[in-house]
Homo-oligomer: A and B are copies of this chain.
Amino acid sequence: MAKPAKRSRDAYHVGNLAPQLLAAARTLLEEVGPTKLSLRAVSERVGVSATAAYHHFQNRNELISHLAAQGFAELAAALQRAYSSGSGLDKVRGGSLAYLHFARSNPALYQLMFGPEFTDETLIPALQRERLAAFGELKRMVAETLGQALDSSDVRKASVAAWSYIHGLTSLVIHGLLPGAAGNSDEHFVDRTLEGFAALAISCSPPIK
């Protein structure tokens, strides 16, 4: 709320610098984009020296890892809120809308979450955990629409399929690869692609004898 005024001289020790840095990074992220988020700019915005962050995070990667973890936690929560008791299609549509809406509301964060900085196996525990939690939420939805156990083979396969679809659509929309990506509603994209899948499913299923 308040502007990030210069820290007064007597507040040499901050006490809660880590969360302040994360908050500043979060807003800066959406301002400058995922590739141009710099530790120095974050520190300056908080009003602290350029190297202060190193007493709370190992390096830039650990800072943005926490940002990404935060993003997955919020995505999981959004999916949970989207719980729908309608038909199978209603559940899939509801979840897809919640997913796409979260990403379009936090485009830079979403790009960061699936960005190239976290490809290797050296993920911090928080990121690994929240990522799994978000995917777990998706699996729960799929299990319900299929009416099968959470750990069944069908649910695992269908969950990866559903995640591929909604992540792919989201990614294309956010990066502006779809014509009119800016002007159209979440419902527009989700409903049209769902119709597209239905058409493909009919053409791909072997003719019923």
A→B interface (CB under 8 Å): 33-35, 87-89, 92, 108, 111, 114-121, 131, 135, 142, 145-147, 154, 157-169, 171-172, 174-178, 189, 192-201, 203-206
- Contact A196 B119, CB 8 Å, known A87-B206, A167-B171, A204-B89: no
Nearest chain B CB to A182 CB, angstrom units: 9
Question: What is the copy number of this chain in the assembly?
Answer: 2
Identify whether the interface residues of A are mostly helix, strand, loop, or mixed. helix
Quick one: closest B residue to A194, CB to CB? B161
19 additional A-B pairs beyond A157-B199, A160-B178, A160-B192, beta carbons within 8 Å, are: A88-B200, A88-B203, A89-B204, A111-B116, A114-B177, A115-B116, A119-B175, A157-B196, A158-B196, A158-B199, A160-B172, A160-B193, A161-B195, A161-B197, A162-B196, A163-B172, A164-B169, A168-B169, A171-B171
Residues of B within 8 A of A164 (CB): 164-166, 168-169, 172, 193
